[in-house]
């Protein structure tokens, strides 16, 4: 029973490079969520996706950040032209739920992104 799988676990990039973070949801889950966590803080919502659709991107920065969840393959969070302030832990969660059906989100162990 594999849980939410994220890779890589650690990612180091230099300023100006691109970072690509991957997330495979739990088996049977079609809803994916991305959150960002700074040290000693709670998680902050970024984006909610279903297959091939962005449902809510109200937490995404307006520039440089994008997310997708294609029909086949993992969800990808992409950060272009990274800056030092992008250093954080990025967590992905998934749930099986239908719209308006409260279901707990189950989290992966995150990708720690460090910008040099």
Q: Which residues bind another protein (CB under 8 A)?
A: 4, 6, 31, 33, 35, 40-45, 48, 55-56, 58-59, 91, 93, 99-100, 102, 104-110
Q: Which is nearer to another protein, 14 or 104 (CB)?
A: 104
Instruction: Measure the CA–CA gap between 54 and 68, rounded to whole angstroms.
Output: 7
DSSP 86: G
Number of C-beta neighbours around residue 16 at 10 A: 10
Q: Which is nearer to another protein, 18 or 41 (CB)?
A: 41
Q: Which is nearer to another protein, 4 or 115 (CB)?
A: 4
| β-pair type (111-115, 10-13) | parallel
What is the closest distance, in whole angstroms, from the C-beta atom of residue 81 to another protein in the complex? 26
């Amino acid at each position: 029973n594999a849980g939410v799988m994220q890779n890589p676990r650690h990612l180091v990039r230099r300023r100006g490079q691109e970072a690509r973070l991957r997330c495979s949801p739990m088996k049977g889950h079609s809803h994916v969520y991305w959150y960002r966590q700074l040290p000693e803080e709670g998680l902050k919502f970024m984006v909610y996706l279903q297959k091939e659709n962005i449902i809510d991107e109200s937490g995404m920065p307006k520039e440089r950040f994008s997310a997708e969840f294609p029909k086949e393959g993992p969800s990808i969070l992409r950060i272009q032209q990274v800056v030092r302030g992008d250093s954080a832990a990025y967590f992905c969660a998934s749930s099986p739920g239908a719209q308006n059906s409260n279901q707990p989100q189950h989290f992966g162990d995150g990708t720690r992104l460090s910008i040099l």
